[in-house]
A and B are shown apart, each in its own frame.
Chain A
């Protein structure tokens, strides 16, 4: 497999604030990556570094074998429409789609037209008059129809309704199956895209918390709930990543799978085992207040 991106010690600082803190990772050709993390974790900064929009303060970065900034032969293989993308004054979506083929050699105008119809995007309305969802649709259409070898989707479905989001997932998968390429989906809403991902990179406070195949992550953590003493005994020498409790009851999330014998033992101890989804695992790892809600739902 070919490496398209290699970052080593990649760092971006804004004054005293370190947005990206010495991260190491690689992206392989032809995969769909999830760049996950809370808002402000550093996802957009990483994508801006990878697309040469920002200059790193430290570390090494190679995209298609070179530093991306100011290298036309690298940049022409990339597509990155930022979530807060600015468009030229008074541009309409039609203007965007008209200029896209000059920049993306694989641009498929017929595909773009079909997507415009799918999303019911008004192409003659000024971009600044579009709703948040319609603005997202413009970015999604450019990202899909450009068929760039390395495509970034930055929070692609902000403001899109459920129907539009599913159109996005369907078209993405269909087109990816026909035209394999490297895709990076950045989002803080993990539930819906979890199944689309082949690999997950979890960012928190500018650092990488997790860099694993999505299938490896799925079910890699387990929540054990029951009487506090029994739960504590069962989880004593395991890596605990989350802990909740009410009165004599405890609910502990551990990193790692349980084998059949362990499951039986847990059942014999009267413990409830609940699998942890990707979304829940990430909530645990990035430690938010949401962790409590997710736990209670599981325990209920």
Chain B
């Protein structure tokens, strides 16, 4: 009854490759609120608060709109969805990974599909924020001198620059969350503790090295020379390292 030969396989992997990656992207968007809904809800909330603050300040002080805008320059409201998106990066892996594997996806396709999803989200967020910066400038703070998007390093140069820095930051936030979770999926608590220990050693070691070699000024000079754009290229580089590292880690990870 038992035959020695198993079913011959029709090898269709290459043909179906793109489809199998794309279905992971679709899986991430089945519930669109996670990537597209809630970040905008947070951003919208922050915007509403900023508007109310601007109205209060304007009516109380009667200061010219330009001065108030300067005050808003130091507002971090524009970055408010980032904390949530770290959690999204973590949850994307923690929950969807085990589900996708249960549905017969490979780890490789899962990570590639998730990466495509992250890139799409980063492009969407970056384009939107860069555009909102411009709108805010044109309307002179939404007509009431409120500043939210034209803050921190945003709004200093071009739309493209704002897009690039936002994109880099978004990629970093998503992939760091996902990469750390991949380490957890593979090595559980032991992996997280080792990662934390390793990070502490690297940071302290770096600080010690900079202090010992009196390189602090050199570092600041270098950072100033590469500019905001250069710094965010470093951030994007870290995102890519997290993405590749996460890929290598998750290839042998096991769902809970």
* Residue ranges of A at the interface with B (Cβ–Cβ < 8 Å): 1-4, 6, 26, 28-29, 48, 51-55, 62, 64-66, 70-82, 84-92, 95, 98-100, 102-104, 148
Contacts and interface: CB of A to CB of B under 8 A. Distances in A.
A90 B106 contact: no
B96 interface: yes
Interface residues on B, range: 35 or more
B6 A64 contact: yes
Contacts of B251: 70
Q: Which of B5, B7, B91, B105 has most A Cβ within 10 Å?
A: B7
Interface string B8-20: 1111110011001
16 contacts: A26-B2, A52-B106, A64-B6, A73-B10, A73-B11, A73-B13, A75-B104, A76-B104, A77-B104, A78-B104, A84-B256, A86-B98, A86-B99, A86-B256, A88-B92, A89-B31
Interface in B1-37: 1-13, 16-17, 20, 23, 26-28, 30-31, 33-34
A203 B99 CA distance: 26
B98 A72 contact: no
Contacts of A80: 102, 104
Nearest to A64: B7
A65 B104 contact: no
A90 B102 contact: no
Contact of B104 (A2, A28, A104): A104
Given A64-B6, A65-B6, A90-B33, A103 B105 contact: yes
A89 B104 contact: no
A115 B238 CA distance: 47
A148 B102 CA distance: 12
Contacts of A79: 103-104
Contacts of B26: 99, 102
Given A4-B6, A64-B6, A100-B103, A53 B96 contact: no
A240 B16 CA distance: 55
Contact of A28 (B2, B12, B30, B94): B2
A28 B105 contact: no
Contacts of A75: 104-106
Q: Which of B28, B95, B102, B107 has most A Cβ within 10 Å?
A: B102
B30 A91 contact: yes
Contacts of B101: 51-53
B34 A55 contact: no
A81 B104 CA distance: 10
A99 B30 contact: yes
A72 to B, nearest CB: 5
Contact of B107 (A70, A74, A86): A70
Contacts of B96: 88
Nearest to A71: B106
